[in-house]
A = this chain, B = another copy of it.
Amino acid sequence: MKIAVIGLGKAGLPLAAVIADSGFEVVGIDLDEWKCEMINSGKNPIPEEKGLDELIGRHGGKTLKATTSYEDASDCNAYIVIVPLFLDEHMNPDYAALEFAFRSVGKILKMEDIVVLETTVPPGTTENLVREWLEEESELKLGEFYLAYSPERIMTGYSISRLREFPKVIGGVDEESGERAYELYKKFVPNLHLVSNARTAEFIKIIEGCYRDVNIALANELFKIAEEIGVDFYEAREKANHEYCHIHLPSTGVGGHCIPVYPWFLIREMEKKEKFSHARLLRVSRELNDEMINYWAEKIISECLKVKKPLNEVKICIKGITFRKGVKELYHSRNLALAKLLAEKGLDAGVWDEMFTPEEVEELGLRWREPEEADVVFDCFELITLVKQA
């Protein structure tokens, strides 16, 4: 059994490496030539991923071969697709990368091959769109090939241990597909669970994200109320939480490719079915999290008013612009959005981030500012410290 992994990003490469380490021949496909060369020479292009150096060093260029060409994977028997899905400006999923990947797989698909999608997608995507793309390009019918869905559950930095320990689900678009995919995956994912079908597996991944988004929104709302009534939210949270209560932490909102994206899959799906009221809580939570930057902007301005200078001359430093501490990633970063919001209001807001150079920050259209040079510092990863200098 030779396995192709399409997409060698933060989720795909650890998966490809773990599969190779389980004794399979793996062909990894990625559009990035530099990345393929790195891997083939045994070097890890994602150094922050724990344990990946060792696996790439051991298998890269040997049983794990990276390539930009789908043709090189034409003798594989299984195709695992794990490429990104973004939202367009209307918060609808943009399937371009997925469609390209599956149509390319379709062109090399053979009888009895098995295809598995890992990217988080709206429920129904695998059985509808993916099946159509594959059938159109391959001229095979489902039943002649097998199709399943198994959502990645990685966490940047811990992806390998997650694959080896964390529960993972898998479901087929038909029974035979589910069983075959389960048998294959069991060989490299020990904690694997077969569910009724692909749609259920898709839904499972999305609702985990929804749980997080809604609970972060709840934490943000309770934080605002606590501030309003003069209670220390962090003290209250610590004492309220126990085995039946899991209040999350407040934040500037939710960024990155996952949590702020997944609720939209269900919101848009319900809108398409004209069930507008069926995703109210998801929508309010999304808005509440996205609007937290307005709340923090007001807090920062209150602090600026205490500085004896005209308001637009008070030097503000937004400390930390990545969406999460320690991950150089700005997708839907609310910290970046907060810095832009303050600048838009006509305030003198600069940013500082340990992962960026002044030049990179200026390319984003923002001003670089060292915390030491600011009158008011807002640390996006330590929300409670609004520091007034001097």
Interfacial residues, chain A to chain B (CB-CB below 8 A):
123-124, 166-167, 169, 193, 195-196, 199-200, 203-205, 207-208, 210-212, 214-215, 217-218, 221-222, 224-226, 228-232, 235-237, 239-240, 242, 244-247, 266, 269-270, 273, 275, 278-282, 284-285, 288
Contacts and interface: CB of A to CB of B under 8 A. Distances in A.
A297 B4 CA distance: 50
B218 A281 contact: yes
Contacts of A232: 196, 200
A192 to B, nearest CB: 11
Chain copies in complex: 2
Contacts of A236: 195, 200, 203-204, 207
A123 B232 CA distance: 12
17 contacts: A123-B229, A123-B231, A166-B242, A167-B242, A195-B239, A196-B235, A199-B231, A207-B222, A211-B240, A211-B246, A214-B281, A221-B281, A221-B282, A228-B275, A228-B278, A246-B246, A280-B288
A297 to B, nearest CB: 14
B239 A204 contact: yes
A167 B239 contact: yes
A229 B123 CA distance: 8
B246 A204 contact: no
B204 A240 contact: yes
A214 B225 contact: no
A127 to B, nearest CB: 11
A232 B197 CA distance: 10
